[in-house]
Amino acid sequence: MEPSRVGLDPKACEQARLTRDARFDGLFFTAVRTTGIYCRPVCPAPTAHARNVEYFPNAAAAASAGYRPCLRCRPEAAPGTPLTRARSELVAAALRMIEAGAPEAASVARLAHRIGVGERHLRRLFVAELGAGPLEIAATRRLLFAKKLLTETALPVTQVAHAAGYASLRRFNAAFLDGYGRAPRVIRREQSAPANNTLTLRVPFRAPYDFSALLAFFERRAIPGLEQVDANSYTRRFAFDGKAGSLRVTRMRGTDALGLTIDFPDTAQLQAICARVRRLLDVDADIAAITAQLARDPRLRGFVRRHPGQRLPGGWDGFEIAVRAVLGQQVSVAAARTLATRLLERFGEPATLPNGEAFRLFPSPSTLADADLTRIGLTGARAKTLNAIARALCDGGVDFRPEQSLDNFVASWCELPGIGAWTAHYIAMRALGHPDAFPAADLVLRKMLADGGTALSARAVEALAERWRPWRAYAVMHLWRNSN
């Protein structure tokens, strides 16, 4: 299959290119044969003749065809290509692993083994659906992230290479020269290295993007001492790979991007941290496709029109989301927040930020596996459920592996005591960012979809929601938001 035609409508791409339609930014890339350069569809450069242009579904496909990224429109500054653009679940699963920075993503054989398919089959699927193999996708992602750090930060080139995942400065220089036709030191801006570990990166999104709604959602649930939310920003303290740090996200005025400020002592984890933040804030959602699908249903049409930028609020840590989901069973959001705060105060693990500030991390599974959780006011049954979750995560009975299917995730979690379909789907929504997770037994959903009558059964709600696939989680957010 011709890679420039993989999953793309040439006529639609041509129209978007000619009008520089921002809705398509990151959904495809334009390559010009006469220059050997690939660009975003919003590139301000003079428009090339159609006979010299071909289209690619992602940056890696363009790079694999021999094109170099444009230095003017900066492909690394585009919103991410939605993982849901993959046609098969196998490719989508592998892409989630690559985006999460799984070590297996460095080898097609290991990636295929973890997903449960043959190496050749996985490579063939990637080329057929995306126009590039798994290693090409990962390599382009690494190169573009390095370019982002060179352009947006003052990190020394050696730290940029380390942060982008290159084994050595020599390999980084060679890859960059091959990809851009010039050395990293020629590209980077002239400025001194920062005096501390703090740096700020742009996190582009595809408009519309309702950041205020996300902040309101997080604010109601924020745990004092761990999170802080105001009208303009979200701040989070965290641990990653055994080290403590903090991040702050704000809306950048005049641009379709958020500003992410990170204070963390190990630059090697920057790409993984950024990936978590992107999932936390759902910046890569295919919002046009979501809106079009949900607006077909008269029940949701008005909600979607009022809030076209609704996103799916994620979570920093899967275990934390799971615990908070259990704490929130059959109680108010405020009550669940109070319990989470008590849990942090009594069982939170001491940590220190790079600036020397002390705080408590959310407890780990090993800490809560055998803890007496009735001491924070939980019932015995609820405490046993949290103990069981913690032990299952320690033993590998359940996990948050990005490649697993929604059905398998829900089935494994429902085997735990005290975990039903509602809780499992809620965890999948927040911890995995799964766009089709759907807690059908939710009382609010059952009442809202009953049109003023008796609350529907979970089975009836599931039947109604079939038309919302594969975006049922976004329908949930619209219904919850408009239930007041």
Render pLDDT for 377-396 as a digit per residue (tens, 0 to 9).
999 999 999 999 999 999 99
13 carries an active-site annotation: no
Across residues 77-104, what is the average pLDDT? 85
Mean of per-residue pLDDT scores for the chain: 93
pLDDT of residue 348 exceeding 80: yes
pLDDT at 86: 79
pLDDT of residue 3 exceeding 80: no
Q: What does the domain layout of the chain look like in residue ranges?
A: 3-81, 84-187, 198-284, 318-437
pLDDT tens-digit series, residues 198-234: 699 999 999 999 999 999 999 999 999 999 999 999 9
pLDDT tens-digit series, residues 144-177: 999 999 999 989 999 999 999 999 999 999 999 9
The catalytic residue among 25, 282, 286, 442 is: 442
pLDDT of residue 1 exceeding 50: no
Identify the weakest region by mean pLDDT among 85-99, 128-142, 411-425: 85-99
pLDDT at 198: 67
**Superfamily in which the 84-187 domain is placed by CATH:** Homeodomain-like (1.10.10.60)
Across residues 421-436, what is the average pLDDT? 96
Percent of the chain with pLDDT over 70: 96
Across residues 320-341, what is the average pLDDT? 96
pLDDT of residue 358 exceeding 50: yes
pLDDT at 371: 97
pLDDT at 5: 47
pLDDT at 103: 74
241 versus 7: which is more confidently predicted? 241
The CATH code that applies to domain 318-437 is: 1.10.340.30
pLDDT at 452: 80
The catalytic residue among 13, 39, 73, 274 is: 39
pLDDT at 196: 53
Whole-angstrom Cα distance, residue 196 to residue 191?
14
Across residues 440-458, what is the average pLDDT? 92
Classify domain 3-81 at the CATH class level.
Answer: alpha beta
> For residue 288, what are the CA distances in angstroms to 298, 310, 340, 478?
17, 11, 36, 15
Per the DSSP assignment, residues forming a β-bridge with 13 are: none
Percent of the chain with pLDDT over 90: 87
CATH 3.30.310.20 assigned to domain 198-284? The reply is yes
pLDDT at 451: 84
pLDDT of residue 484 exceeding 90: no
